[in-house]
Amino acid sequence: MRPSAIRLLNILVPVKRAVDYSVKIRVNPQQTGVDLNVKHSMNPFDEIAVEEAVRLRERHKDQVKSIKAVTIGPPKAVETLRSALAMGADSSIHVEIAENAPAPEPLAVAKTLREIIKRQNEGVDVVILGKQAIDDDLGVTGQMLAGLLGWSQATFASKVEIDPAKKEALVTREIDGGSEEVRCRLPVIITTDLRLNEPRYASLPNIMKAKKKPVEKLTPADLGIDYTPQLETLKVTEPPKRVGGSKVTNVDELVAKLKEAGITAA
Amino acid sequence: MASATLRSSLRLPRLLTRTHCRTFSSSPCVRSVGSLRNFTDEENMLRDAVRRFATDIVGPKVREMDEKEHMDPSIITGLFEQGLMGIETSEEHGGAGGSFTSAIIAIEELAKVDPSVSVLCDVHNTLVNTIFRKYATEEQKQKWLPQLSESRLASFCLSEAGSGSDAFALATRATKDGDDWLINGTKMWITNSYEAEIFLIFANIDPSKGYKGITCFVATKDMGIEIMKKEQKLGIRASSTCSLNFDNLRVPKENVIGGEGKGYKIAIEILNEGRIGIAAQMLGLAQGAFDKAVPYTYQRTQFGQPVGTFQGMQFQIASAAVELETARLLTYNAARLKEEGRSFTKEAAMAKYWASQVAQKVSGSAIEWAGGLGYTRETGIEKFWRDSKIGAIYEGTSNIQLQTIAKFIQKEYS
């Protein structure tokens, strides 16, 4: 009996334009957030996601039918999509919001992604995204998306193997106790952790080719999703400045100091 | 004469609006007015990509390469893999089809980390690749450009022991032998020559014609080019600088680039562009030294405050920043003038001359700002100062640049 046709993999990679990791963050005078007039770049965990998608194509070749990047952000966020295209994505979607609009919250992002996935005629088999964004460190979008779609999820991935024929993913996850291997049925949501891979540098020919790759423009209204924030940030402050320590000469002195600081039980 | 001054003032660049352009200007119209901070998306992406490559891949090897006076082959391979060795070459010839400014950006970003790596990329792109793109036949382009974009490093061989600034007094001869040319002579001060496989050689086919006999030939190392003494230099030590010997080097006639006797024109025109590349290298060098030293001055405290906050230091740092900005504007303006198809020879000479001066000054100051640490080889600041000296010497000495600029001024004003 002939095996059922192997469905080709369509990979979706959501990416976020976030404050660059090398920037020295300063809290704004109103204490409502950080100064955003600084360098932005693709969230490093999302770069790892794009890289993993490209590596899946290098491994599975023609079985990876498409790699599509998607971002939600102001007009400038298209630069992030271009970076993804330069790394090897085939096409992209820009859900554009106004320049000074507040960033959408994870649930709104997950709903947006769900809607986009529904609209993909060819379907989506694998969604790979960063485990968290380095600006808000919320780390929930991938999980929420899996919940909304009812799909399998494998988060904090440090290794990903896909079997298109069996429609399975074998993912090694980094957890507190060590590593865990999970086997998931496709379609699957995977979130990337730091040790999954080291992203490539976009070579100049690929940067030039990225110019010709498509960027589809959408708005939240097109997708019927409300981005009104459900959470209100009350106050943002810097952590307390480090004060100098002191040296102790023996264990008794150490214990006395710890008691003084109220750190011991007795 | 009133009419002469009026005529010459009409030739000065005009500020043009978006909607129309003055038709009696002899230079092509510019469609938009913007600062020199305007770059295309691709140029910005390239800057980021090269910066990361330079920091992550080149950075860790800089000191070792300098101490050993040897370019790590993996860096050359990395440059090819990143598509940085065929920046302006068209896609059909294996390149990236980028703008001239893209090449300038790549050279600048590499120089911020290692001016030796930067000059390797600069010579290959702005001298060798451009000669093929501008003067070679389609057949020659199809043969050589893909190799140059993908894997084979090249050298530009003009200077000799007896001809540096007086380049066209070169003595290397090429004599006809059947359908081939036999090249005899020696070249000196040739960048990349230790690692290069492809060489553009300028030789005279008819000394009775003076400089009009100079012809450009392409040859590969395996045709019999002898690499001789590798110079031990003050700076850019990882960049190989060797003498070459040609002993009846047999080169087929199809390896003549641009036509017999056209070598002078080719060299003059190409060195004009190459000048902007060196300006970019010097600019990157100066910026790299500045970027290494200044943060240190805000950390190092003496007499109860960071040394960078003493007014004397602030004035020095600010002054250096002004000089960096002037070098940057000269360099990028020259690059954009060239892209616009406008005359840029004077501006290129100004950029190269000035950027090399700024590089010397700023890198020297950077050492002093970092004090004793700045003087040690470990921190990598002193290397920039050693590397900067060559800027006033190669691809046209500072005196030659000044002479070029003076000639333009004389023409305009007399």
pLDDT along chain B (414 residues), means of 10: 43 40 43 83 92 96 97 97 96 94 98 98 97 97 97 97 93 96 97 97 96 96 95 97 97 96 95 96 98 96 96 98 98 96 97 98 98 95 98 96 97 95
User: In angstroms, rounded to a whole number, what is the distance separating the alpha carbons of residues A33 and A31?
Assistant: 6
- Non-local (6+) Cβ contacts of A158 within 8 A are A172, A173, A174, A179, A193, A195, A196
Tell me how close the Cα of B95 comes to any Cα of chain A, in angstroms: 7
Q: Is B173 exposed, middle or buried (0-12, 13-18, 19+ CB in 10 A)?
A: middle
Q: Is B299 on the interface with A (CB under 8 A)?
A: no
Alpha carbon of B191 to those of A139, B63, B127, B204, B266: distances in Å? 51, 20, 11, 21, 18
Q: Is B55 on the interface with A (CB under 8 A)?
A: no
- Reduce the DSSP state of residue A40 to 3 states and report it: strand
Sequential DSSP letters for B271-293: HHHHHHHHHHHHHHHHHHHHHHH
Q: Is A39 on the interface with B (CB under 8 A)?
A: no
User: In angstroms, rounded to a whole number, what is the distance separating the alpha carbons of residues B373 and B292?
Assistant: 12
B236 and B119 Cβ atoms separated by less than 8 Å = yes
**Active site annotation includes B347:** no
Residues of A in contact with B49 (CB under 8 A): 86, 201-204, 207
Tokens read off for B368: 């002093």
User: In angstroms, rounded to a whole number, what is the distance separating the alpha carbons of residues B334 and B328?
Assistant: 10
pLDDT band at A79 (very low <50, low <70, confident <90, very high): very high
Tell me which residue in A79, A201, A205 faces B96 most closely, judged by beta carbons.
Answer: A205
Alpha carbon of B103 to those of B20, B51, B261: distances in Å? 31, 13, 29
**How many other CB atoms sit within 10 Å of the CB of residue A186?**
18
Contact at CB, B83 and A203, closer than 8 angstroms = yes
Q: Is A201 on the interface with B (CB under 8 A)?
A: yes
CA dihedral B181, B185, B186, B192 (to 10 degrees): 0
- Non-local (6+) Cβ contacts of B278 within 8 A are B119, B122, B352, B355, B356, B391, B394, B395
User: In angstroms, rounded to a whole number, what is the distance separating the alpha carbons of residues B349 and B320?
Assistant: 21
A205 and B94 Cβ atoms separated by less than 8 Å = no
Least confident of A122-126, A166-170, A200-204, B136-140: A200-204
Q: Is A179 on the interface with B (CB under 8 A)?
A: no
- pLDDT recorded at residue B31: 53
Contact at CB, B45 and A201, closer than 8 angstroms = no
Q: To the nearest whole percent, how much of chain A has pLDDT over 90?
A: 73
Tell me which residue in B53, B91, B97 faces A201 most closely, judged by beta carbons.
Answer: B53
Pairing of strands A64-73, A91-96: parallel
Alpha helices in B341-397, H assignment, sequence order? 345-369, 371-375, 381-388
Half-sphere exposure of B19 (CA within 13 A, CB side): 0
Select from B40, B81, B82 the residue whose CB has the most chain A CBs within 10 Å, as the one to mutate to test that interface: B82
Helix axes B115-122, B381-388, angle to 10 degrees: 40
Per the DSSP assignment, residues forming a β-bridge with B227 are: B244
Contact at CB, A208 and B98, closer than 8 angstroms = yes
Which DSSP state fits A125? S
Summarised one tens digit per residue, pLDDT across range A117-165 is: 999 999 999 999 999 999 989 999 999 999 999 999 999 999 999 999 8
pLDDT band at A266 (very low <50, low <70, confident <90, very high): low
Nearest to B281 by CA among B167, B199, B134, B389: B389
Annotated active-site residue in B108, B323, B347, B395 = B395
Per the DSSP assignment, residues forming a β-bridge with B184 are: B173
Residues of B in contact with A199 (CB under 8 A): none
- Reduce the DSSP state of residue B194 to 3 states and report it: coil
Give the number of A-B residue pairs with CB atoms closer than 8 Å. 52
- Non-local (6+) Cβ contacts of A239 within 8 A are none
Query: Which chain A residue lies closest to B92 (C-alpha atoms)?
Result: A205
Residues of B in contact with A208 (CB under 8 A): 42, 91, 96-98
Q: Is the pTM of this model over 0.90?
A: no
Tokens read off for A167: 């429609």
Contact at CB, A205 and B84, closer than 8 angstroms = no
Q: Is B52 on the interface with A (CB under 8 A)?
A: yes
Tell me how close the Cα of B318 comes to any Cα of chain A, in angstroms: 21
Q: Is A79 on the interface with B (CB under 8 A)?
A: yes
Q: Say which residue the tokens 């921190």 belong to.
A: B379
Contact at CB, B49 and A207, closer than 8 angstroms = yes
A224 and A95 Cβ atoms separated by less than 8 Å = no
Alpha carbon of B246 to those of A225, B230, B306: distances in Å? 73, 16, 58
Contact at CB, B45 and A203, closer than 8 angstroms = no
Exposure string of B209-247, with b = 16+ CB inside 10 Å and e = fewer, is eebbbbbbbbbbbeeebebeeeeebebbbbbbbbbbbbe
